[in-house]
Structure 1
């Protein structure tokens, strides 16, 4: 009876309200999120410090490539616009912290930010084949080889010929990992969990190839031997030469330094090799400085972490395309010097190729 009386009372109240519509003013719908437009709130310099890109690069360069996939079909649940989703993701890349993202961009829950970061990172990573690729045209190949030769020129005016890219690996720290009894695979020889990311870079500090998924304990030479770029060189789909450190085997298509140089020519070759190969360390420094989440550590799930690595590489190449350079990149600090382990395998034909090159260059 109490419930029935309550229903009656509610119906009477509704009838009274509906009969007095002329004097009744409906309260405006309340939206929980208080949107702040960063494009209007920040000057371009402050905007770039927080999101690592100019306003024009975000609005007219990056956003059009993923905007359609981020749009919601309807307005149910007050969906977050695509541009704000992109800004949330870029803010995460620039800080590595959800709390700062929430404070500086949009007031949303941490799970929402986590889903947005994964969704946007996945869409950016899908641009891999479009933005990260080895040069294919003859003009592009010759231009890369010319630039690499100029990078290595010293007092003698000699540079390494035929170089297409510089190869190396860098560790991306993993924080708070939970890998169910296989986490020790991701512990590198420095003692922390990481992904060992292999990259081939070009003379303009652009990424030409990237392999993001190997655990930190895996050796650089093993990653290279099982990579697609290695098979492309073995099958002669690529005909140039790479330069790598002593952690890689000396191959006909991969030049490494001489461990114990005995002659002046071998010493000169090592100097020339080091000047040419330093571009890959410089690229890693620029990359991690633009996206500090890669150096501070990723606490996301493993699949999301590898996706973020690829997405940041794609954004790095896009930044070069837009000529969107950070001011901090004018003076580049290299990663700490790390003595590479000896490669697990070492065929002999690479030494013959390297010796013939030294003979041709210095005698």
Structure 2
């Protein structure tokens, strides 16, 4: 447990990571600084876990802050290509059926393949275009789009947009959003009211008028809480991406790489059933940008056909509730 508490992964998994990226770290070591691949990896894992270079210094490794910073960047760059192996959107018929069956059985909403949410990862305010990174909560951040399945595995993550970016814009311009548009009717996601209502993306009813709509909203809320808990556990496991750490002190592109790597490590921990040793889960629920559902868009303009199609598809599901 001491190894897990310190590095968030068991000894065997750390050894597997070292085996995968060790040669790359050895080449970097010969060019830049005399740290073994083992020390570099452990320094990076400890940084991901705590979010503090200074705390790493106190761990008895005897490293300077600059050495730890270089190690974190080297390890992050080496781990990043492995993310595609561990963060995978469901593609096989078996995986899709399993997830859809879970949401239908437990939440009574058909064809759901995942739940989606945006979360803010604090960063140091960039010197260039820093204003666009200021989020609605008043600090510089990367706005990340996270999709997870019923097992709390992150199946897709988009970590490249400044904090001021709206969740709906991120989804529309993401690969999953584009695929959902092309495959309408095959699967759908559940999101909060900050997302656009679509046949492939169900949001809650803004103003429920009867028991069926109320029951649908409750089922939707309970199902969508999965992604909130997943994000909370991810940030609790890897405090580097949590606001309490003071933010990632890298350039935005490097921050995005750290975010993706920690998401990958989260999935590894979940798949290996690594316990979350912190006493309480940090469930951060972001504020929603709620839209009116009166059939009208901004400035009283009629909503587009996609919204109306989503409204009808959701209503068909609501009609089954009682």
- Using structure 2 for the length normalisation, give the TM-score: 0.89
Structure 2: 5+ residue runs without aligned partners? 293-297
Q: 1:47 to 1:342 in 2, by over 3 A?
A: same
2:173 is equivalent to residue 213 of structure 1:
no
Q: Is the 8 A contact 2:236 2:282 kept in 1?
A: no
Counterpart selection for 2:96 from 132, 141, 160:
141
- Counterpart check, 1:113 vs 2:113: no
**Structure 1 gaps, min length 5:** 1-44, 153-158
Aligned partner of 1:310 in structure 2 is: 260
Structure 1 residue 197 corresponds to structure 2 residue 144 = yes
C-alpha distance in structure 2 between counterparts of 1:81 and 1:325, whole Å: 29
Highest Rg: 1 or 2? 1
Q: Provide closer, same or farther for how the CA distance between residues 114 and 257 of structure 1 changes in structure 2, counting only shifts above 3 A.
A: same
**2:261 matches 1:334:** no
Residue 167 of structure 1 is aligned with which of 110, 116, 122?
A: 116
* Most deviating of 124-133 and 304-313: 124-133
CA 73–247 in structure 1, closer or farther in 2 if over 3 Å, else same: closer
- Cα distance in 2 between the residues matched to 1:250 and 1:272: 17
Corresponding residue for residue 313 of structure 2: 353
The aligned counterpart of 2:183 is 236
Change (3 A) 1:333 1:236: same
Residue 68 of structure 1 corresponds to which residue in structure 2? 23
Compared with structure 1, are the counterparts of its residues 151 and 86 closer, same or farther at alpha carbon in structure 2 (3 Å cutoff)?
Answer: farther
The CA deviation string for residues 36-90 of structure 1, in whole angstroms up to 9 with x for no partner, is xxxxxxxxx222222112222212x322222222123896887322121110001
Distance in 2, Cα, partners of 1:148 & 1:116:
42
State the alpha-carbon separation in 2 of the partners of residues 220 and 73 from structure 1. Answer: 38
Cα distance in structure 1, aligned partners of 2:37 and 2:29? 13
Whole-Å Cα distance in 1 between the matches of residues 29 and 191 of structure 2? 51
Deviations 1:103-123 (A, max 9, x none): 215223322221211111122
Indicate yes or no: 2:247 matched with 1:294.
Answer: no
Report what 2:273 is aligned to.
323
SS in 2 for 1:208: strand
Secondary structure, in 3 states, of the residue corresponding to 1:169? Answer: strand
> Compared with structure 1, are the counterparts of its residues 358 and 52 closer, same or farther at alpha carbon in structure 2 (3 Å cutoff)?
same
CA contact 1:88–1:105 (8 Å) conserved in 2: no
- Helix, strand or coil at the partner of 2:67: helix
1:149 deviation in Å? 3.0
C-alpha root-mean-square deviation of aligned residues, in Å?
A: 2.2
Change (3 A) 1:201 1:179: same
1:226: Cα distance to partner?
A: 0.8
Q: Which residue of 2 aligns with 1:245?
A: 192
- Report the CA distance between 1:229 and its aligned residue: 0.6
Q: Secondary structure at the match of 1:89?
A: helix
Deviation at 1:124, TM superposition (A): 1.5
* Structure 1 moving runs of 4+ over 4 Å: 73-78, 343-346
Q: Does the 8 A contact of 2:212 with 2:318 survive in 1? A: yes
The CA deviation string for residues 125-179 of structure 1, in whole angstroms up to 9 with x for no partner, is: 2112111111121111111112223442xxxxxx21111000010000113x233
Return the TM-score normalized by structure 1.
0.79
Q: In structure 2, do the counterparts of structure 1 residues 76 and 274 end up closer, same or farther at CA, with 3 Å as the change threshold?
A: closer
User: In the TM superposition, what is the alpha-carbon distance from 1:317 to its structure 2 partner?
Assistant: 0.9
Q: In the TM superposition, what are the counterparts of 1:89-108 in structure 2 within 5 Å?
A: 89-108=44-63
User: Which residue pairs with 1:259 in the alignment?
Assistant: 206
